[in-house]
Amino acid sequence: MRANSHRERVYRTRAIILKRREQGEADRVITIFTPEFGKRVIIAKGVRKPTSRKAGHLEPFTHATLMLARGKTWDIVTSAQTISSFRALREDLDLTAYAYYFSELLDAFVQEEDPHPELYDLLLDAFHYLEQSPNPALTARWYELSLLKLAGFSPQLFQCVRCGQHLQPETNYFSLEHGGALCPRHGEGEAEAQPLSLNALKVLRYIQSQPYAHIIRLQLTPGTMRQLEKLLGDYLRFLLERRLKSKTFIHLLRR
Ligand SMILES: [Zn+2]
């Protein structure tokens, strides 16, 4: 659409604030995610001064319209206007932790300057859902599976990833390395594979295929919730460690 607009001296974009850090006396370096340019690191000058008008629009999780000017190292925020502040995510410690986790997970999966509008929409949806969620942990599992799908790492949950046979209604296995389920015959010999109960398999398939409005109505036992959290957490950690193995490992899933 406006593929060249980032070459203009001043340009406008919508953005979600992923994270920020302090820089110098009064500045902040901010990582944003935009629909047109993907992830980008920018600087907000003087934003830590009490008189700054931009500060309130550049808080984590904020969805904002930004005017940016080309800079040498980082582009510079010249003005910022909140579209949605997601205040509920800031006012509840538990929701704040989830919102940070959602942001960090996306940050870890995307490269700078690699546009991915579907992931942009996903994160916005996830923040909206989280604000109203009767079950934030289940919202998180939906978000993880949706992000995996868009990033091209959707786990295979219907056929054995080794032999291709349709999985039977019994305890199967899950392989991080193969990115999906294994039948008992192939799972038992696989050292890194973990058992996958029939119930957990059904719930994962349901979350992978149904609309969020249906998923959030699921009533799951704490045991099933823990299984799903562990399995998806292990899989995400595995993918990110493989990807970042030459860099410093980041403690993404630290809860
Ligand atoms: Zn098999």
How many whole angstroms separate alpha carbon 75 and alpha carbon 133? 36
State the distance from the centre of ligand 1 to the C-alpha of 165, rounded, in angstroms. 6
Q: Which structure tokens are listed for 23? A: 């820089």
State the distance from the centre of ligand 1 to the C-alpha of 177, rounded, in angstroms. 14
State the distance from the centre of ligand 1 to the C-alpha of 236, rounded, in angstroms. 23
State the distance from the centre of ligand 1 to the C-alpha of 154, rounded, in angstroms. 18
Each residue's pLDDT, cut to its tens digit, for the chain (255 residues) gives 455 555 679 999 999 999 999 999 999 999 999 999 999 999 999 999 999 999 899 999 999 999 999 999 999 999 999 999 999 999 999 999 999 999 999 999 998 988 999 999 999 999 999 999 999 999 999 999 999 999 999 999 999 999 999 999 999 999 999 999 999 999 998 999 999 999 999 999 999 999 999 999 999 999 999 999 999 999 999 999 887 654 443 344 443
Instruction: Give just the sign of the alpha carbon dihedral 88, 91, 97, 101.
Output: positive
| Closest C-alpha among 171, 179, 129, 120 to residue 147 | 120
State the distance from the centre of ligand 1 to the C-alpha of 185, rounded, in angstroms. 6
**Which amino acid is residue 136, in one-letter code?**
P
Quote the strand ranges of the chain, DSSP E.
Answer: 10-23, 27-34, 38-44, 63-69, 75-84, 172-175, 180-182, 194-196
Give the dihedral of Cα atoms 42, 47, 53, 56; nearest 10 deg.
Answer: 80
Q: Which structure tokens are listed for 102? A: 């959602």
Q: What does DSSP assign to residue 172?
A: E
How many whole angstroms separate alpha carbon 161 and alpha carbon 183? 8
pLDDT score recorded for residue 244:
63
Using an 8 Å Cβ cutoff, are 167 and 158 in contact?
yes
Predicted TM-score (pTM) of the model is 0.91
pLDDT score recorded for residue 245:
56
pLDDT score recorded for residue 242:
82
pLDDT score recorded for residue 254:
40
pLDDT score recorded for residue 7:
63
Phi, psi torsion values for 124, nearest 5 degrees: -60, -45
State the distance from the centre of ligand 1 to the C-alpha of 228, rounded, in angstroms. 22
| Closest C-alpha among 181, 176, 190 to residue 161 | 181
**What dotted CATH number matches 1-132?**
2.40.50.140
pLDDT score recorded for residue 223:
95
- What are the structural domain ranges in the chain? 1-132, 147-255
